[in-house]
Chains A and B, each alone.
Chain A
């Protein structure tokens, strides 16, 4: 079964600075999707960014970008110009592209604190 590992339970960043959250995963599949979700104190799960494994180009969404290293099975999230509203739990997630394997696997999360 696929597993997702987030090795940083907590991270801290100064407002306006850049921070990188780490994520590694284990799979034998070649086609899959990777996601970063943000969970603020309201407990909503908000999609931050997604990456298709067949795409070599790293995904970007405004201040959020990823470093996808398929061979290393690594999928880190970079937040640039950090804002106070970025403070939240961040979850890395993996989903197979196979229709026979439909579920999504989540890491344990990284709690990000943004200091003013």
Chain B
């Protein structure tokens, strides 16, 4: 079955540590997105990519980095510069005018 796979489901970060969240899709979608969701709030865009080797900052890109070396993969690194990383992270993908498909998310917590 086609879909979006996010891993791990739960992740813990120590102070000063960088961590990477994985997002893989086998839907052959061109565009991929990373969102952050805080408790009781909507989704805020971190980064998005419309094509391989190209990506743009969203509203809250500071403290995060991404890469898009393959169409299927769009990993998100939460760097030590992100001072409040505890949140639920959602990856999504889209093709053409279709709605976004979402992964099941990764919950990141600080140790």
Contacts and interface: CB of A to CB of B under 8 A. Distances in A.
Contacts of B31: 102
A91 interface: yes
A103 B45 contact: yes
Given A44-B104, A103-B48, A91 B43 contact: yes
Contacts of B2: none
Interface in B15-45: 31, 33, 35, 40-45
Contacts of A109: 40-42
B8 interface: no
B49 to A, nearest CB: 9
Interface in A31-49: 33, 35, 42-45, 47
Contacts of A9: 40
B42 A106 contact: yes
A35 B99 contact: yes
Interface residues of A, number: 20
Contacts of B50: 102
Nearest to B44: A106
A106 to B, nearest CB: 4
Given A45-B90, A91-B42, A109-B42, A103 B99 contact: no
B42 A107 contact: yes
Interface string A78-98: 000000000000010000010
Contact of A43 (B33, B88, B100): B88
B75 interface: no
A16 interface: no
A33 B97 contact: yes
A43 B42 contact: no
Interface of A: 4, 6, 9, 33, 35, 42-45, 47, 50, 91, 97, 102-104, 106-109
Given A44-B104, A45-B102, A109-B40, 6 more contacts: A4-B42, A43-B104, A45-B43, A91-B43, A102-B48, A106-B42
